Structure 1
Amino acid sequence: MQTMQQVARAQQDRAFLEDFLKESQPFILRAASRCAGFAVTRSDDEFSVALFAFYEAVRTYDAEAGAFPAWARLIISRRLTDHYRAVRRFSSEVPLAPQVFDGAVESDDADAEVQRAVVEKIANPATATAAEEIEAANALFAPYGFCFYDLGKCSPRAEKTRKGCAAVVATLLHTSDLFRQLERTHTLPVQALAQHSGVKKKLIERHREYIIAAALLLRGEFPTLSAYLQTIRKEVASCGL
């Protein structure tokens, strides 16, 4: 398993970090499966959440936290718990029987159609893996001067800040002129967004990369990575723009 030296290097060396994440995927899958209660695959939403969480664990790890594997499992468990809570709030909280994840659907159940949709998603081999989407996202983010692995430093932590970012993202997604300006200039129109959303410029500037990334991921074809944005997606929808 990962050594403290490897983690320390991954914190300083972006190229090594990317390789480290790829090499650690078996560990990430095991940790996610342990928390989810079923065998998580790379095409499951849980994997994308766990991958983000592992990246967060690397970035925030300190030797005082103890052994890194235990720290990573703790962060993965926390983020998956947050994810399930967000999914329940965002959806209609439809309960799914455990056998659904093995491809079994009870045709007499009231939620049989939902169960079939879940089975189809799990069985679909064309579903992009999180690693593939991260690679595509990096190509999309490059003109804006950041990459996927930079987002951990600028992601909002406080609920009030998350809601402020959500309001800005909603404004960006629902104001075509501003979104086209973003795509054309690769620069966030901070002043205009502040005026339209009512959010302070200072907050927008501080979380510039996160706001751009969230808008691009939600607008684009990133089903796996977008699943990690369940909370901000709900908040964006609640803005009513």
Structure 2
Amino acid sequence: MIDDREKFIEENRDFVYKIASSICKRRLSWQNDDELSNALIAFNKAIETYDKKKGNFFSYSRMIIKNSLIDYFRKSTKNVNIYLGDEELITFELKSSIEKYEIEEENKIRAQEIALFNHKLKEYGISFSDLVISSPKHKDTREELINVAFLVSREQQILERLNKTKQLPIKQICLLTSKSEKFIEKWRRYLIALILILSDSDLMYIKSYLNIKVGDKNG
């Protein structure tokens, strides 16, 4: 279980909204649309039922939200066409339509996010090729760096300094994480990229592909 579930849910409302909106094929309102309430409940269920054997948390929660909304559509009186004719066939067609649209929308949003991420990296003098070269090869190192970036992404003072100077405040991060300056400096570019992803709500799809384990002591 995560330490502060309400805070975690609040931090990921944009992620929940994007998933629900892409499935519903329209803009949604938190005040007026039951679909968003349903999606938020599903996200909370994903937190309750997740374990690391199920892979990436955000991929898992996306599946839970999707399945919950499809079931909601099937049962909702607002979608009476679902009950016309052969229910199994219509439900299958609905699922196929939703899945096709979702894939198209996710690809579109993902492309936009990648372009935005590339632009942000350039502000720090980093390119995608730099990240390929400076990425850790070992899983343990990657997880260690994600944990460091996750802690930093919650420290507003460090984020403000990073954004203002475009330089990683290494000493502050060492104090926060108990890591050595040599370790932080070695992975400087990779850490900046991770921190940008984890702290920017406009990069939710990219964030969903990071191997973040809900429930870790640092999470």
For normalisation by structure 1, the TM-score amounts to: 0.48
1:223 paired to 2:204:
yes
Label 1:143 to 1:91 Cα distance change in 2 as closer, same or farther (>3 A): same
Q: Residue by residue, what CA displacement relative to the aligned partner does 1:22-67 show, whole Å, maximum 9, x if unpaired? A: xxxxxxxxxxxxxxxxxxxxx9xxxxxxxxxxxxxxxxxxxxxxxx
Label 1:150 to 1:174 Cα distance change in 2 as closer, same or farther (>3 A): same
| 8 Å CA contact 2:153, 2:199 repeated in 1 | yes
The residue aligned with 2:126 is: 146
The residue aligned with 2:218 is: 240
For normalisation by structure 2, the TM-score amounts to: 0.52
| Runs of 4 or more consecutive aligned structure 1 residues displaced over 4 Å after TM superposition | 92-97, 103-106, 118-121
Report the number of matched residues: 146
Stretches of structure 1 that go unaligned for 5 or more consecutive residues are 1-42, 44-83, 109-114
Q: Larger RCO: Structure 1 or Structure 2 (Cα < 8 Å, ≥ 6 residues apart)? A: 2
Paired residues for 1:87-236 under 5 Å: 87=56, 91=60, 107=74, 119=99, 122=102, 125=105, 128-220=108-200, 221-229=202-210, 231=211, 233-234=212-213
RMSD of aligned residue pairs (Cα, Å): 4.0
Name the SS for the 2:55 alignment partner. helix
Matched residues in 2 for 1:129 and 1:149: separation?
22
Instruction: Report the alpha carbon displacement of residue 119 of structure 1 after superposing the two structures with TM.
Output: 4.6
Name the SS for the 2:150 alignment partner. helix
1:86 paired to 2:55:
yes
Stretches of structure 2 that go unaligned for 5 or more consecutive residues are 1-21, 23-52, 76-94
Q: Residue by residue, what CA displacement relative to the aligned partner does 1:95-121 show, whole Å, maximum 9, x if unpaired? A: 899xx7xx975947xxxxxx8xx7597
Point out the structure with max Rg over C-alpha.
2
Kindly provide the amino acid, as one letter, of the partner of residue 183 in structure 1.
N
